[in-house]
Amino acid sequence: MSYNLNRWIGVRMDFLGAAFTSGLALYLIYGPSIGASNTGFSLAMAADMAHFILILVRLGNEFEVNANR
């Protein structure tokens, strides 16, 4: 049960992270010109932030499941 819940949360968080990064990429490409290096840096940091949030959610889920045992 906890494995399935963890996978469901992982898929949902991956989707939200990809949507956030894609939205940021669209804004940076078609929005105001800030330069290629700043655009690449912003996209790399957005992808890292989405991955970090996914790790925090999974750790919180694992803690909650282990606390209920």
Hey, what amino acid is at 51? H
CA 65 to chain centre: 22
Closest CA to 10 of 45, 64, 50: 50
**Residue 41's pLDDT is what?**
92
Is residue 56 predicted with pLDDT exceeding 70? Answer: yes
Model pLDDT, residue 2: 67
pLDDT tens digits, 9-43: 778 878 888 888 899 889 988 988 888 898 889 88
State if pTM tops 0.85: no
| Average pLDDT, integer, range 48-53 | 86
Residue 16 CA, chain-centre distance (Å), reads 6
Q: How far apart are CA 65 and CA 69, in angstroms?
A: 7
Decide if pLDDT at 6 tops 80: no
Going from N- to C-terminal start, the domains of the chain cover 2-67
Q: What is the DSSP letter of 68?
A: T
